[in-house]
């Protein structure tokens, strides 16, 4: 019987750098679009265009394309990682992100190119969504397979460390540009700078990843076994695929609520000043990044289930009181955000390890990538819109209960999970 085994990693620090730097660049590019969307819309989707296709393409580009393509990217790039190696997939995803970032930076204005402008932007967002979806699938397997004995949780934690660094960098670059350039400069060319810089950073990430060591090679007498097909993970491991969905649902809705939507929630429902809300969000993200390695180390020592249950039960019980505690002061919002980040770390710091420990190596990347990204699109990506919808319907108090209910479902899934922290990674 064929075995598939990880090659002993000679330089784990280099492996960690390759995954983390590339992931940070990926998320920098993704979040740069979010922070600068209003400037892009003014140039590419002008209200005065008089063309009915423009608002349609605007809606499609901003709300649908990115999250729709993430499950597709998870499946396709996961299959690349399983068929051709983790390093190959990681180099493809960062090149896709660099190319799409360059495309955004060079997108013509509507005044110069007409309807072609939003079409180019939609194409760029398609590529970005594909890249981000594939990045998680490939980097998750790469990180966990690169870890030494008893260090899978620690290595796993750097998935969200690097994601948060990318988000904070994009926010800082956008804020610096807005502060130092006039409104006219930002609208004419300033909004392009972060994307052009992101394309250049992608080349740096590509160079680092090219020097990384492949973590998976088939060995044994049946090394010529056919490579896995695109849907093999779903076909042969349906239970594990559903398990990934159950594990992820609560984590992703809590993550997007606390890291992306909470400042808006505080503005809409507690009347907090926008500048204070953004500052609290930034400080809590920095705190969140520092917590991740600690969460990973604790899971390597005490197992995966305790932190997962700490997160799931914590949010199921405390999401409602925490969100209702937010007042109109900066201190109250910062306290609620940091408290949520502590709970959230129980999931984020080890989600990569937990997911990787569910699937055998042969279909690990695709097995994780598709159900994970699909669940993120269904629950995480929609969290801000569900919260806003409840507010528009004059029932803002229902949103905390929605978050609590989804986290409770995941907590029940965690209860049934086998403990995998101290087992050999399945090959």
Tell me whether residue 373 is in a domain: no
Whether the predicted pLDDT of 2 surpasses 60? no
**pLDDT, greater one: 398 or 219:** 398
What does the pLDDT read at residue 48?
Answer: 63
Tell me whether residue 335 is in a domain: yes
Tell me whether residue 230 is in a domain: no
What does the pLDDT read at residue 125?
Answer: 87
Q: How confident is the model at residue 237 (pLDDT cuts 50, 70, 90)?
A: confident
Q: How confident is the model at residue 348 (pLDDT cuts 50, 70, 90)?
A: very high
Tell me: do 261 and 318 sit in the same domain. yes
* Partner residues linked to 4 by β-bridges: 218
What does the pLDDT read at residue 275?
Answer: 78
pLDDT tens per residue across span 368-415: 989 998 999 888 878 877 887 887 788 888 999 999 999 999 999 999
Tell me: do 178 and 131 sit in the same domain. yes
- Overall number of domains in the chain: 2
> Average pLDDT for residues 299-317, to the nearest whole number?
95
Tell me: do 195 and 50 sit in the same domain. yes
Let me know if 271 is exposed, middle or buried by CB neighbors in 10 A (0-12, 13-18, 19+): exposed
CATH number for 84: 1.20.1250.20
pTM of the complete model = 0.85
The residue from 170, 191, 222 where one domain ends is 222
What does the pLDDT read at residue 59?
Answer: 47
Tell me whether residue 342 is in a domain: yes
> Average pLDDT for residues 228-233, to the nearest whole number?
75
The tokens 């990681």 sit on which residue? 90
Three-class HEC string of 50-91: CCCHHHHHHHHHHHHHHHHHHHHHHHHHHHHHHHHCHHHHHH
pLDDT tens per residue across span 25-72: 888 988 888 788 778 877 887 766 566 555 545 644 565 667 778 898
Q: Which of 145, 187, 190, 340 is nearest to 253 (CA)?
A: 340
The residue from 194, 222, 250 where one domain ends is 222
Tell me: do 210 and 243 sit in the same domain. no
pLDDT tens per residue across span 170-192: 988 988 888 888 888 988 899 99
Q: How confident is the model at residue 210 (pLDDT cuts 50, 70, 90)?
A: confident
What does the pLDDT read at residue 184?
Answer: 87
The tokens 């973590």 sit on which residue? 215
> Average pLDDT for residues 193-217, to the nearest whole number?
88
Tell me: do 111 and 26 sit in the same domain. yes
Tell me whether residue 365 is in a domain: no
Whether the predicted pLDDT of 222 surpasses 50? no
Most confident of 59-68, 108-117, 150-159: 150-159
What average pLDDT is seen over the chain? 85
Tell me: do 109 and 14 sit in the same domain. yes
Tell me: do 415 and 295 sit in the same domain. yes
Could you tell me what percent of the chain has a pLDDT over 90?
37
Mapped onto helix, strand or coil, the DSSP state of residue 181 is: coil
Range of the domain at 216: 1-222
**pLDDT, greater one: 282 or 220:** 282
Tell me: do 247 and 213 sit in the same domain. no
Tell me whether residue 229 is in a domain: no
Tell me whether residue 426 is in a domain: no
> Average pLDDT for residues 234-258, to the nearest whole number?
91
Q: Which of 378, 416, 352, 390 is nearest to 249 (CA)?
A: 378
Rg (alpha carbons) of the chain, rounded to whole number: 21
The residue from 165, 191, 222 where one domain ends is 222
Lowest mean pLDDT among 102-106, 301-305, 417-421: 417-421
Q: Which of 179, 260, 214, 298 is nearest to 8 (CA)?
A: 214
Tokens of 326: 């937010």
- How much helix, strand and coil, in percent to the nearest 5, is found in the chain? 80, 0, 20
> Average pLDDT for residues 220-233, to the nearest whole number?
63
Tell me: do 24 and 48 sit in the same domain. yes
Tell me: do 275 and 157 sit in the same domain. no
CATH number for 388: 1.20.1250
What does the pLDDT read at residue 159?
Answer: 92
Tokens of 376: 């993120």
Tell me whether residue 370 is in a domain: no
Tell me: do 210 and 244 sit in the same domain. no
Tell me: do 145 and 117 sit in the same domain. yes
């Amino acid at each position: 019987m064929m075995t598939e085994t990880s090659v002993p990693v000679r330089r784990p620090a280099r492996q960690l750098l390759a995954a983390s730097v590339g992931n940070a660049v990926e998320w920098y590019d993704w979040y740069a679009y979010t922070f600068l969307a209003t400037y892009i819309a003014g140039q590419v989707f002008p209200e005065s265009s008089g063309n009915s296709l423009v608002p349609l393409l605007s809606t499609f580009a901003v709300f649908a394309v990115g999250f729709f393509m993430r499950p597709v990217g998870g499946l396709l790039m996961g299959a690349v990682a399983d068929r051709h190696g983790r390093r190959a997939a990681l180099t493809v995803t960062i090149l896709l992100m660099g190319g799409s970032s360059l495309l955004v930076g060079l997108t013509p204005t509507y005044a110069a190119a007409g309807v072609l402008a939003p079409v180019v932007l939609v194409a760029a967002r398609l590529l970005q969504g594909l890249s981000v979806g594939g990045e998680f699938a490939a980097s998750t397997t790469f990180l966990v397979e690169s870890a030494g004995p008893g260090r899978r949780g620690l290595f796993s934690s750097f998935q969200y460390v690097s994601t948060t660094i990318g988000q904070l960098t994009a926010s800082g670059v956008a804020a610096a540009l807005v502060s130092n350039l006039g409104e006219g400069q930002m609208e004419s060319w300033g909004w392009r700078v972060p994307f052009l810089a992101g394309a250049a950073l992608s080349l740096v990430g590509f160079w680092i990843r090219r020097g990384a060591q492949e973590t998976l090679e088939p060995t044994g007498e049946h090394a010529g076994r056919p490579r896995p097909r695109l849907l093999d993970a779903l076909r042969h491991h349906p239970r594990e695929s559903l398990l990934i969905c159950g594990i992820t649902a609560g984590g992703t809705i809590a993550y997007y609520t606390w890291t992306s939507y909470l400042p808006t929630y505080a503005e809409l429902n507690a009347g907090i000043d926008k500048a204070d809300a953004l500052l609290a969000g930034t400080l809590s993200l920095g705190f969140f990044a520092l917590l991740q390695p600690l969460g990973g180390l604790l899971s390597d020592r005490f197992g995966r289930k305790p932190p997962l249950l700490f997160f799931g039960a914590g949010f199921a019980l405390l999401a409602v009181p925490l969100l209702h505690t937010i007042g109109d002061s900066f201190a109250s919002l910062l306290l609620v955000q940091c408290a949520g980040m502590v709970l959230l770390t129980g999931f984020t710091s080890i989600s990569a390890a937990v997911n990787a420990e569910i699937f055998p190596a042969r279909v690990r990347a695709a097995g994780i990538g598709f159900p994970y990204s699909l669940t993120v699109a269904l629950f995480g990506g929609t969290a801000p819109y569900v919260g806003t919808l409840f507010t528009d319907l004059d029932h803002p108090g229902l949103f905390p209960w929605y978050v609590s209910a989804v986290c409770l479902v995941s907590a029940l899934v965690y209860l049934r999970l086998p403990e995998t922290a101290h087992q050999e990674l399945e090959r």
